[in-house]
Amino acid sequence: MPNIKLIIEYDGARYHGWQRQPDVPTIQGELEEAVFKITKERLTVVGAGRTDAGVHAEGQAAHFKTKARLTPDAWQRALNSLLPEDIVVLTAQKVPDRFHARYSAVGKTYRYRILNRRYRPAIGRRHVWTVYLPLNMRRMRAAAKTLIGKHDFSSFQGSNHSARTAACTIRRLELVKRKDEVVLTIEADRFLQHMVRTIVGTLVEVGRGRRNPGEMAALLQKKDRRFGGPTAPPQGLCLVKVVYK
């Protein structure tokens, strides 16, 4: 039975996240409905990660197994002809049977965009978090350095988490200022629920002077979400790519 891997781009603004849910639009639901129209098979499209409601992706990975014998190019064309305009299959390919979009992944890269100015945007507002007070980049970068490496990120995970362990290794965490936009790029072997958004919310508190950069080490040691910063809103977050061996 062919195993098909997809790389998908989507604007998550009008979706209730990746995971299929009854009576509301989701990315997984749209993909599975498109596959059903092609194959008449009710199957599961497995994603590399479950992005939250309102979160976007440039390089989400997924796979599904099917009896259909279409070529990869035919899969891409057929799916894109059926999917809504805010979901696009960038690539389709046949992969070994053992490939699993989630469990075969060895890392992911996310990007978070902050618009830092005194007035809201009219264009692109569904893709940034507007922070109106000035942010101190030097303080934010100093705090971010503390998070690089392998740590227990319990203080940065969602309250409804189901992860067996909170240990993650952040390989890269960069903050770049481009005019009035702050772009955070983070790469790790794995991420906990709401981890990136909570890191962003905490770094923004540091940038606004509500926390000291040196508090980040103590926050990691507490291993308690109650001590972390607020969870940043979803619209600024984008899954850039999923890394496989």
Is 52 annotated as catalytic?
yes
Please check whether residue 11 is in contact with residue 86, taking contact to mean a CB–CB distance below 8 angstroms: yes
Pairing of strands 129-131, 105-116: parallel
CA nearest to 12, candidates 35, 34, 1, 28: 28
- End-to-end alpha-carbon separation of the chain, Å? 23
Q: Which of 237, 141, 165 is nearest to 194 (CA)?
A: 237
What sign for the dihedral angle of Cα 215, 221, 222, 224? positive
Q: Catalytic one among 52, 73, 86, 152? A: 52
Length of the chain: 245
Enumerate the active-site residues.
52
